[in-house]
Amino acid sequence: MKKSVLFVDDEPNILAGLKRMFRFLRHEMNVHFVESGEEALAFIATEHVDIIVSDMRMPGMNGAALLAIVQERYPHIVRIMLSGQSNKEAILRTMGVVHQFLAKPISSEVFKEALARACALQDLMQNIHVKSLISRVGNLPRLPAAYSELQRILQDPECPLSDIADVITQDLAMSAKVLQLVNSSFFGFYKKIDSPDRAINLLGIDIVKALVLVVGIFNELKPIAETSFSMQNLLEHSLGVAEFSRKIVQEETDVKDEADNAFLAGLVHDVGKLLLMSSIEREYAEVIRLAREQEMEFFQAEQQTLNADHAAAGGYLMRTWGLPGQVVEAVAFHHRLDHYPEPSFCLAVAVHVADVFYHRFKPHAHGLPPALNYPYLERAGLGDRLDHWQARCRKVEI
């Protein structure tokens, strides 16, 4: 069944250009165009829409307001923002509302790839086995309060650093754990970092915010009983994959936001394991046993036992929480690159490779380590980058 994409822009010339750009997709997608937020909502009320792409600046109802309504009324629709404004400003204004942000000008190739990936993610999230697994989980956990508060105050680009640090220090346990992670060997600081202000100055807001998120997740999602799965090992693994992912992306681009998103994606790539261990613990104990006794890759044991895996479950949760689309895709597809369209370098590739490298450097006790998807990497033209990435990651102390 063809996907339905709705474009919203108040400028007729822009819509005309989009129509020309996407004429070649008419055999693959049903593409529709409207000129205002009000028209978009009226259209969605009567027609099926899978993806909405809205301009940011429109008179009356702007793109952020429109997508907030779509998020509330039609959560299944993938929400993409297209804007010519400053990237940072637009991202801050649409935080938690938009799955993906695309900056103007944009080529037809990049646009087509973004839509293809959005469709692949939606198909995975709507997969009957994934939805069945999520239904067994029950009520999904809420976004950690400290991270949610940071998102709120950071919507103001002029937010002082002291306000950001205050959110972290208000929770003493949170502050202590974040500083413990900041002072771990992964970051390689020679002097102890003793305050959130100092951590933010050295690492940046986005990295510290990501650490707040993962600490909140690990505090919230805990197995009810003791298992053979080490929470501490999982946290160290997540931090290692995060730093490896960031190093890999830094080798391919100098865009700081991409590197920060890579760190966040690596940090939460295995959050699905925590979600499943804390909600369907008996079934997940069987996954651990199967992986260990049959020497299977962990996600394969999940597929055999649960008909879905932790990557899909984690991607589902991250999407519910409104994390950036690239991050959600990386979490959902880091074990299934073959299901990811348009082979090219992306966060999913960085996290996939970082995950494999970490297991190579520090073998895990449960099952076989994940293997590199060489065919996909070769199709993406990245085969000759692997040795270079591995050498860069080996310099990180784990």
Q: Is the dihedral of CA 167, 172, 173, 175 positive or negative?
A: positive
Residues 150 and 95 in one domain: no
Tell me what pLDDT residue 45 has: 94
Tell me what pLDDT residue 251 has: 95
Residues 89 and 185 in one domain: no
Residues 91 and 37 in one domain: yes
Beta bridge partners of 8: 34, 54
Residue 133 lies in a domain: no
How many residues appear in the chain? 398
Residues 121 and 156 in one domain: no
Residues 162 and 111 in one domain: no
Residue finishing a domain among 78, 94, 126: 126
Residue 231 pLDDT > 60: yes
What is the SS3 assignment for 368? Answer: strand
Residues 113 and 142 in one domain: no
Q: Looking at residues 74-78, what average pLDDT do you find?
A: 85
Residue 207 one-letter amino acid = I
Of 76 and 213, more confident: 213
Per-residue confidence band for 328, with pLDDT thresholds at 50, 70 and 90: very high
Residue 347 pLDDT > 90: yes
Q: By residue range, what is the domain housing residue 270?
A: 138-394
Tell me what pLDDT residue 227 has: 57
Q: What is the pTM of this model?
A: 0.86
Residue 178 lies in a domain: yes
**CATH number for 47:** 3.40.50.2300
Q: Please, is 47 exposed, middle or buried when counting C-beta atoms within 10 Å of its C-beta (0-12, 13-18, 19+)?
A: exposed
Residue 37 pLDDT > 60: yes
* Beta carbons within 8 Å of 353's beta carbon, 6+ residues apart: 244, 248, 372, 377, 386, 389
Per-residue confidence band for 89, with pLDDT thresholds at 50, 70 and 90: low
Residue 328 lies in a domain: yes
Tell me what pLDDT residue 72 has: 86
Specify the residue for token string 């999230």.
125
Report the chain's mean pLDDT, rounded to a whole number. 87
Tell me what pLDDT residue 350 has: 97
Residue 132 lies in a domain: no
**CATH number for 331:** 1.10.3210.10
Residues 198 and 152 in one domain: yes
Q: Looking at residues 194-201, what average pLDDT do you find?
A: 90
* Beta carbons within 8 Å of 7's beta carbon, 6+ residues apart: 15, 18, 22, 31, 32, 33, 34, 53, 54
Pairing label, strands 100-103, 3-8? unpaired
Residue 85 pLDDT > 80: no
Residue 95 pLDDT > 70: no
User: What is the total count of domains within the chain?
Assistant: 2
Residues 82 and 203 in one domain: no
Residue finishing a domain among 95, 126, 157: 126
Residue 363 lies in a domain: yes
Residue finishing a domain among 103, 126, 149: 126
Residue 229 lies in a domain: yes
Residue 131 lies in a domain: no
> Phi/psi at 83 (nearest 5 deg)?
-150, 145
Residues 93 and 214 in one domain: no
What is the SS3 assignment for 1? Answer: coil
Q: Under a CB-based contact definition with an 8 Å cutoff, are residues 74 and 27 in contact? A: no
Per-residue confidence band for 233, with pLDDT thresholds at 50, 70 and 90: confident
Residues 265 and 376 in one domain: yes
Residue 203 lies in a domain: yes
Residues 115 and 179 in one domain: no
Per-residue confidence band for 178, with pLDDT thresholds at 50, 70 and 90: very high
Residues 101 and 146 in one domain: no
